[in-house]
Amino acid sequence: MTKDIKLRLKDVSSSNPGNLEAVFSLGNGHFGVRATNPIESSAVEGTLVNGFFEYSPITYGEAAAYYPKRNETIVSLPNLRKIRVFDDGHGEFTHSKLVDMQLDLSNGKLVEEYELSNDKKQTIKMNVTSAIDQREVHFYGIEYAFEAETYKGDIYIDKNFVLEEAKGETGDDIDDPRKTRELKSIKREVVATDDLSQTIAISTAESKQRIEITAYGFNDESHLSTKLSLADEPKVSYGFIVGEKNEKGDFAKEDFATIKENSASFWHDTWQNGEVSIAGNDELNLALHYNIFQLNQATGRDGKTNIAAKGLTGPGYEGHTFWDTEMYMIPYFIYTNPEIAKKLLVYRYNTLDFARTRARELGVNQGALFAWRSINGEETSAYYPASTAAYHLDGDIAYAIGNYYQATHDMEFLKDYGFEMLLETARFFREFGTWAKKDGKTVFEFHTVTGPDEYTAMVDNNYFTNRMAQNNFNLAYKLGLVLMEKNPEAFGKLGVSIEELEVFKDIAEKIYFPFNDEYQINAQDDTFFSKAIWPFDETPKDKYPLLLHYHPLNIYRYQVNKQADTVLADLLFPETIDDDQLSREFDYYEKITTHDSSLSRSIFSALAARMGDMKKAYSYFSDTVRMDLTDLQGNTEDGLHLANLGGSWLSVVQGFAGMQVTSAGELKIIPHLPIEWDGFEFRIVFNGRLLNINIIDGKTTIKLVDGQPMNIIVDNKSYKLEKATLEILSKGE
């Protein structure tokens, strides 16, 4: 990083404890620790392990064939930060006032300051330093330092695990599908304990999973219960490590210094390949760095886990993975850390058997339909109009596969994972679609479908879905030919032929796209423009988000968008639409979009920037980049909005910088600089090259930091990028 950047308490608008716990949480893709107050209980306190979940039955008033039968809910583990502090009269310091918090984004270290008091109003200061290991991902360390204030005697520390978790609002209690449910089938028990360490086990009754966690002191003489004297020393400290057995069932101790070193080296490498900096606005620059920091903390890196909608910062949405990963989060990793992007796609590959089964349940004899919301790959959504019917997910995964291959040319991935997924998703679209006649032409359509906009469900020919399916067919055809040429044996093992690839190509050419002649724009679906526009003027502000206040069937009757839909397709496929139509399209859909979804504003920002509408681009970006720091959506306490974190990167790199990869595979930059900034700079990885791109008023500077020379397009002019820095005078709006 160009300089140390730290998030402090003053940088967060909401002082709600739940919000702070999520915002200042630590994670490493394997597990996450909310920044709970170590002394006082929290409604959502605990630790989350990626992929550690429990089943519970789904109860329907009226069920039908092949409805999902069981929920999956991420398990909240015991709070790793909890500590009990007593005075020498056995009174407990039960009151804890937060004074300050500071999260160092350059090394991952969290520092907090509290004032503790007992019932006698005597006070001591407690400073807490914690870090999570980013290399050996099973370890977390925390150190408590105490200073005398009005109390100056001995203090007694108890650091044994508290196995009973606090209970807060759950999805069982309230009408908010973003919440999680309470689990009653989790067993927590102490399996080993002595003066120096304690081991607990957490097991699930239905999913048959088990985790063992051991707490031990910083050194071989540190007791979990100990006495410290503030009478002899003005400042004393005590620390411990929490470790988990690794995948092999082994446990080896780690020390706090190593944890901090592993964290710092990870973040150094992360910023080296993927930093994005804004010059001229420190507030937005900090927020952007923070978002990228938390996105990296939340991401599964083992090919077995993914990114939950709330990451590892809270149990909202029950820890489920959605389409958000491929559309909003994988792009960042494709262009900064392709190996992690690959692991996220391998996760999808590892759920193919579930996806094939789901496709058969929907009456499709070939192909696969990936789960709309899941942890392990099974479909768990009980409301199919806004889940299973949103089968654009298959195309979203295919899109990510295409982008990954285009940016890496990873033939091993294509051979072992990528093409098989493209093949299976293309087969699903082929089987689930329908040939029809329209205006005397034979076309291919998709019926009874829900697009990204969940306020418009079960329609025919959702434009976004049709565009994603077309891309899926084209990718299966083109990359199928690549695999057939490079590795005919691998191609043949998948039971595919050149004739089947030709069928994909033919369908892609004949897919129908709805169009509105009156407005001369792409229609969101066949019937969208026949509906009345939602009565926005009659809707009070406290009735948003609409999904919490109106019956779905009421919402479905109107033209109203929860989030970007058709305009998202315009962003993903810029070569399919000219500037005039794009402007008309953006203006129309913007007026009827509520942005009730956190996924929406980043897309409108990126598209507005590409259009040169910098006022709107900047406004949407400002909301996007600080969404969780301001609690814009009103539910940050349940966990951060991970897709939006990725979306803020999209807004800058694919929006203001206009970065895209052409159909010919060339990297293209069309810079648009907001007048509020002095400039912005970012790094990306593309086909084995590391590029540093700096955009200031009137000039774009591109440096080939590492890798071979390449061609790059800036403002529609091609340049040869050598090792030397390339400086290009540009419009730089």
Across residues 457-484, what is the average pLDDT? 98
**In the numeric block, which tokens belong to residue 531?**
């509906």
Three-class DSSP category at 42: coil
Across residues 220-237, what is the average pLDDT? 86
If residue 131 lies in a helix (H) or strand (E), which one and from where to where? strand 123-132
Strands 235-244 and 210-217: antiparallel
Percent of the chain scoring above 70 in pLDDT: 96
pLDDT of residue 46: 78
Which residue(s) pair with 8 in the sheet? 102
Q: Which residue, chain included where needed, has tokens 């390339």? A: 726
The Cα–Cα gap between 20 and 99 comes to 12
Question: How many alpha carbons lie under 13 Å from residue 223 in its C-beta half-sphere?
Answer: 9
- pLDDT surpasses 50 at 732: no
- pLDDT surpasses 80 at 250: no
The Cα–Cα gap between 671 and 669 comes to 6
Q: Which residue, chain included where needed, has tokens 């807490």? A: 128
pLDDT of residue 41: 83
Tell me the helices (H) and strands (E) count for the chain, helix number first: 20, 31
Q: Which residue, chain included where needed, has tokens 């969940």? A: 454
What one-letter code names the amino acid at 101?
M
pLDDT of residue 663: 87
3-state helix vs strand vs coil in the chain, percent to 5: 35, 25, 40
- pLDDT surpasses 90 at 168: no
pLDDT of residue 694: 96
Across residues 286-306, what is the average pLDDT? 97
pLDDT of residue 8: 97
Q: What are residue 565's phi and psi, to 5 degrees? A: -130, -85
For 541, counting Cβ atoms within 10 Å of its Cβ (0-12 exposed, 13-18 middle, 19+ buried), the class is exposed
Q: Which residue, chain included where needed, has tokens 């982008």? A: 403
**In the numeric block, which tokens belong to residue 438?**
């329209």
Number of Cβ atoms within 10 Å of the Cβ of 21: 25
Confirm if 283 and 290 have CB atoms less than 8 A apart: no
- pLDDT surpasses 80 at 535: yes
pTM for the full predicted model: 0.95
The Cα–Cα gap between 56 and 201 comes to 20
The Cα–Cα gap between 481 and 486 comes to 9
Tell me which residues are annotated as active site.
Answer: 454
Three-class DSSP category at 179: coil
* Higher pLDDT pick, 166 / 574: 574
> Please, which pLDDT band fits residue 344 given cuts at 50, 70 and 90?
very high
- pLDDT surpasses 70 at 174: no
pLDDT for 646-705, tens place per residue?
999 999 999 999 999 998 899 999 999 999 999 999 999 999 999 999 999 889 999 999
Domain 6-271 has CATH 2.70.98.40: yes
pLDDT of residue 177: 60
Write down the domain spans for the chain.
6-271
pLDDT of residue 698: 84
DSSP code, position 528: G
pLDDT of residue 184: 79
- pLDDT surpasses 80 at 24: yes
Buried b vs exposed e over 57-96: b needs ≥16 C-beta within 10 Å?
Answer: eeeeeeeeeebbeebbbbbbbbbbbbbbbbbeeeeebeeb
The Cα–Cα gap between 260 and 407 comes to 33
- pLDDT surpasses 70 at 176: no
Which residue(s) pair with 712 in the sheet? 667, 719
pLDDT of residue 731: 53
Q: What are residue 338's phi and psi, to 5 degrees? A: -60, -25
